[in-house]
Homo-oligomer: A and B are copies of this chain.
Amino acid sequence: MVIGGVAAGLSAASRARKLDPQIEIVVFEKTPYISYGACGLPYYIEGQVDKLSTLQVYDVAYFARERNISVRINTEVTNIAPNRREVQLASGERVTYDALVIATGTRRRFELPDSFPLDTWRDAERLHERIASRPGRNAVVVGGGYIGLEAVGALRAQGFRVTLHQSSANLLGRKDPWLTKMVLSHLERCRVEVHLESRIKERPAADLVVIASGLKPNVGLAADAGVELGATGAIRVTDRMETNLADVYAAGDCAEALHLVSGAPVWIPLGTTANKMGRVAGATVVGARERFTGVAGTSIVGVCGLAVASTGFSESMARDAGFQPVSTTVEAMDKPRYFQGRKTHVQLTADRRTGRLLGGTVIGESSATGRVNVIATALQQRMTVDAFGQLDLAYAPPYATVWDPLLLAARQLAQAL
């Protein structure tokens, strides 16, 4: 039995089915919407995705027919009774399980009257309808994380003047003044007004207000059943997605993961992680030995056309985690000028004691994706800056420069260590 029919839940169900053709699998989803790429929702608002159904990967019929998985939509689980291995549905119906995967995702704690979150299929529908029916001129976005910045881009594309409020001093949930400054200066060029350290208590006076702050793991159901939470507030799980309760597993945005750099549990809800955790949960349920080793916190977001990609720790974050961090930033061309090369910015952080690379940020064009992924690979392998500077990276004029910006940054950082 799986609770939750999006990324982690359906990955778990599908993986279990793949490894065991015999078991019975049921998935409960409280909304009518399953198996969709929630990360695409802002692009529906932006107009890049022409209809929401584009974001749906499979439907209920597909799961029944092709995977012999029963997905029950509009079906909310209201209680878990682990002693009786039983859940209760909103209808009052009780259903027993042999193994339970909790994949209940996130919830938004913060609400304002007449405002729009952008987390779910239904949220996107509501916001889209509102923009279509009452076109406005001024919009406020509350929350400067990924969803907030994607919402800013979407609303700009829809012709709104946009003001962004972020409660902390940092954007993108990353304690990194350099990153925040880079993003701020781009937002300014895109004529977005930004207020940092701005705690919104009442609905701002604007034609449209989008709420993208206050995201929390959705763990009420689990906690009520006695499932242990970690210090992050998300469900504590092993590397096989086991909780403290026998035969109860958790995966996706409601669960913690180990950070590959610090080794400590973190809560970084992302679709990539949810899918991977779901697969491991599905394998564990049927007795296969797979592991989810952790996250580097790798992410990329498009901010009005600028790619902002990070992985691991910034200098501040590394200091908080007990390292002695040293950082360096370089600005370099991502390709030769004669192939329309553009400026790319690379920041690398390493530990002075060990020379180990702790994190990095790449800001620029779409090539930031590959560069941040190289850093993420290095973090998983606990590479030193010296080893990183030796990397044999690909070069040809249409695609890169002979000294990749990553190598230039590594050279500079090695000198600073």
Query: How far, in whole Å, are A64 and B351 apart by their CA atoms in the complex?
Result: 38
A390 proximity list for chain B (CB < 8 A): 276, 291-293, 380
Query: How far, in whole Å, are A271 and B400 apart by their CA atoms in the complex?
Result: 12
Q: Does A204 contact B (CB under 8 A)?
A: no
A40 in contact with B397 (CB, 8 Å): yes
| Per-position 1/0 for A394-407, Cβ under 8 A of B | 11111110111000
B366 in contact with A398 (CB, 8 Å): yes
> How near does chain B come to A96, taking the closest CB pair, in angstroms?
32
> How near does chain B come to A376, taking the closest CB pair, in angstroms?
5
Q: Does A311 contact B (CB under 8 A)?
A: yes
A295 proximity list for chain B (CB < 8 A): 392
Q: Does A196 contact B (CB under 8 A)?
A: no
Contact A377 to B391, CB < 8 A, known contacts A48-B338, A366-B367: yes
The 3 closest A-B pairs by CB, nearest first: A370-B370, A300-B394, A381-B381
A270 in contact with B399 (CB, 8 Å): no
A276 proximity list for chain B (CB < 8 A): 390
Contact among B311, B398, B402 for A37, CB-based, below 8 A: B402
A339 proximity list for chain B (CB < 8 A): 43, 48
Contact among B291, B297, B394 for A299, CB-based, below 8 A: B394
B374 in contact with A40 (CB, 8 Å): no
Q: Does A260 contact B (CB under 8 A)?
A: yes
Q: Does A79 contact B (CB under 8 A)?
A: no
Query: How far, in whole Å, are A371 and B309 apart by their CA atoms in the complex?
Result: 15
A interface residues, tally (CB under 8 Å): 67
B377 in contact with A300 (CB, 8 Å): no
18 CB contacts below 8 A, A to B, read A37-B402, A146-B396, A272-B392, A275-B403, A293-B390, A294-B392, A295-B392, A296-B392, A298-B394, A299-B396, A300-B399, A302-B396, A367-B369, A369-B400, A370-B373, A370-B374, A373-B393, A376-B393
Q: Does A71 contact B (CB under 8 A)?
A: no
Closest partner residue, chain B, to A273 (CB atom): B392
Closest partner residue, chain B, to A50 (CB atom): B338
B403 in contact with A300 (CB, 8 Å): no
> How near does chain B come to A395, taking the closest CB pair, in angstroms?
5
| Per-position 1/0 for A280-318, Cβ under 8 A of B | 000000000001111111111110000101010000000
Query: How far, in whole Å, are A404 and B392 apart by their CA atoms in the complex?
Result: 21
> How near does chain B come to A259, taking the closest CB pair, in angstroms?
10
Query: How far, in whole Å, are A409 and B292 apart by their CA atoms in the complex?
Result: 18
| Per-position 1/0 for A371-393, Cβ under 8 A of B | 11110111011010001001111
Q: Does A336 contact B (CB under 8 A)?
A: yes
